[in-house]
Each structure stands twice: as C-alpha cells, then as structure tokens.
Amino acid sequence: MQLNSLTLVTHPATVPDQQSQTLPAIDDPIVLVCSADENYAMPMTVMLTSVLANLKTNAQLMISVLDGGIHPLTKRKVVQSLQHPTIPVHVDWIKPDCTLLRDLPVNGRLTLAAYYRLLIPEALPTHLHKVIYLDCDMIVQGNVAQLWQLDVGEDYVLAVQDDYQPLLSSHGGCGLRNYRELGLNPDQKYFNSGLLVMNLKKWREDAIGSNVLEFSRQNWATIVNADQDGLNAVMQGRWGQISDRWNQLPGVYTYSSWEESPYDEAAFKALRDAPYIIHYTNLPKPWQHGCQHPATPLFLTYLDRTAWKGWRDTVWRRASRKVRKGIRKSRELLNPASLLV
C-alpha cells in the first residue's frame, strides 16, 4: 500500500447543525474510512462535509481514503472542503494493492473498487482496532461520535439489516443465491455493507478479508452484490445489528404508512423523518440528473458547502461520461489486465 498524508487548516463552518446532542470529549481520533476514484471524489467530499457539520464532540477526525485514482487537483479540492474551525482533521490517501484482487468477478456494473474495503485491516496501521467505514453515496445527519463509542465486542462489524434483502435466503435473486449449497442458515439476517463499524482486531485474527475474497472467487457465478454477499456469508451470526437510522435505505419511502411497513409507528417515523445517515443506494444518484430521492435537495445543500459549490449534472457532463465509459469498455475488451490498473 502507498500512503501519503495531509493535515488540514481551518475556516468557519457554514452548514447549520442538525443535532443538539453532545458527548464527552474523545481522546483518541475517530477513524473514518471511505473508498473513491475520480468519479466518486466529489460525493465522498459531500458525505465527509456532512460528517463534520454534525460532529458534536470535542474530537479529532482521522480520514483514510482508499484512493482508486483521484487526481492531485481533485485532492486539493477535497482538502479545501474539509477544513473546520474546531475539529482537527487528518487525511491519509492510501493506494490499494490491486494485485490482491486478481481473478475477482468484475463487469460493467461491478468493478474492483467494490472490493477495496476488504483491504482496510491490512491498509491501516496495526495499532488501530476499530474504524467506521462509510460509502460515498451518503449524507450523515447524526453525530458519528455516537457510533464510535459503541462497543463492538466480539462481533466482526456493527451494521444495519438490509431492507431489500433482509435474510440470507431472501427470494427473487436477493440474498445469497446458493445459501443452501453453502449450508447457511436461511433465517440469518443479511446486512447492508454501506455503513460498518469494523472490528479490525477480529478481522485480522480471523483473516476476514482474505476469506471474503476467496469466497468471491469460488462463488463468482452467484455473486450479486460484490463483497457484500461474501461478507454476509463469512460473517453469518457474527455481526451486531444497530438502529436502522444509522443507514436509512430507500425502501422506507415505498410504504405509504407505517402499517404497511415492518416497523411500529414510532420507529417508522424516526427512520423516515429523522435518520442519522441517509444512504442513496438506488440509481440515479443525487448528484446525477433525474434522481427522485426525497433527500436529493439535502445532498445539494451540502455539495454547495464544498469546493464544488454550484456544480450540477448538465447535459454536457452526461455526454462526457458516456464517451469515457465507451473508452473504458473498449480498453477492457482489448486489454482485460487494464482492470487491475
């Protein structure tokens, strides 16, 4: 792994606070990890901006970015955006060793970057025993210090049960398609891997990353959700469930009322109207044209607090993306090894 660091200077915050709750000061840095390439650098920055805006604790923040090819000028914009008047912020840029990901299933929708989080325990210093992993397509409205202070215990991760595929045996191509052949408990819950409080000590002891990579290689024909399937297969029964409000998935908006949902009235209202983290799992994303997610305006509000202020998805940008996508597909057809670059 190649690693370089930046420590950020400060300027006044401009996003209004969303939560009044405060927690005692935290001596050790809160460690966040995310993964992005050039295309996801902007939404990653928006997500991290929302983290800082809602951190109500005297703490330091250490951000480790698994760098899938972010341009140096873009990194400057990230740094410019993540300045804070009172919270010391440190950013590490970590270049993943993609040779560890050889022979994994990839296609137009599923890229090697989808497996990066499996490299986190080895990419980060061994003295770190816990991190919070966050997908880039999120907005954080809660205080991540509350997550940081949760006891992981002997669980590999703390996570939220998935709404679309709540069980390993969920029907309709969800869940794990070959759970019977694998001898897995069909009633075991299936978690969404967009938000993880990771127990790095246990991951390292039991080689979770390597086991999930090997699972993916052996079961590539049935993989639907990249490493999320492998994580659920390898960790079945060894993860801790936390409140759905820490990873609000779009399914909550498909119910016209709480009676139609699997929640009671209070839980439904809290999840829909006061989530701690909003996860934009569906396409198009809130930074793309045509997104219908109810919280799209909120994403744009935080975007306008970053160095990308005023950025919107225009017809010219969409055309440019199509051209770049076509070029990439041509490269992959001519040279499959380019997937490892």
Structural domain boundaries in the chain: 2-340
Report the DSSP beta bridge partners of residue 5: 92
157: its two tokens: 């991760």
Would you state the pLDDT for residue 111?
A: 77
Helix axes 296-303, 41-53, angle to 10 degrees: 90
Residue 206 CB burial class (10 angstroms; 0-12, 13-18, ≥19): middle
Please check the confidence at residue 230 and state whether its pLDDT lies above 60: yes
CA 250 – CA 327 distance, rounded (Å): 32
Q: Share the mean pLDDT of the chain.
A: 88
3-state helix, strand, coil in the chain (%, to 5): 40, 15, 45
Would you state the pLDDT for residue 8?
A: 39
Residue 98 CB burial class (10 angstroms; 0-12, 13-18, ≥19): middle
Strand, coil or helix: 332: helix
186 C-beta neighbours (distance < 10 Å), count: 12
214: its two tokens: 């090997």
- Taking residues 311-323, what's their average pLDDT? 85
0.95 surpassed by pTM: no
Please check the confidence at residue 195 and state whether its pLDDT lies above 50: yes
Please check the confidence at residue 138 and state whether its pLDDT lies above 80: yes
Note if the bond before 297 is cis, omega within 30 degrees. no
Q: What is the pLDDT of residues 244-269, one digit of tens each?
A: 999 999 999 999 999 999 999 999 99
Cα 105 to its chain centre, rounded Å, is 20
Which residue, 195, 280, 281, is CA-closest to 231? 195
DSSP character at residue 206: T
Domain 2-340 fold: Spore Coat Polysaccharide Biosynthesis Protein SpsA; Chain A (3.90.550)
Contact criterion met (CB below 8 Å) for 131 and 33: yes
Which amino acid is residue 225, in one-letter code?
N
Contacts of 236 (CB under 8 A, 6+ apart): 168, 184, 185, 188
CA 120 – CA 160 distance, rounded (Å): 20
DSSP 237-263: T-EEE--GGGGB-GGGGG-SSGGGSSS
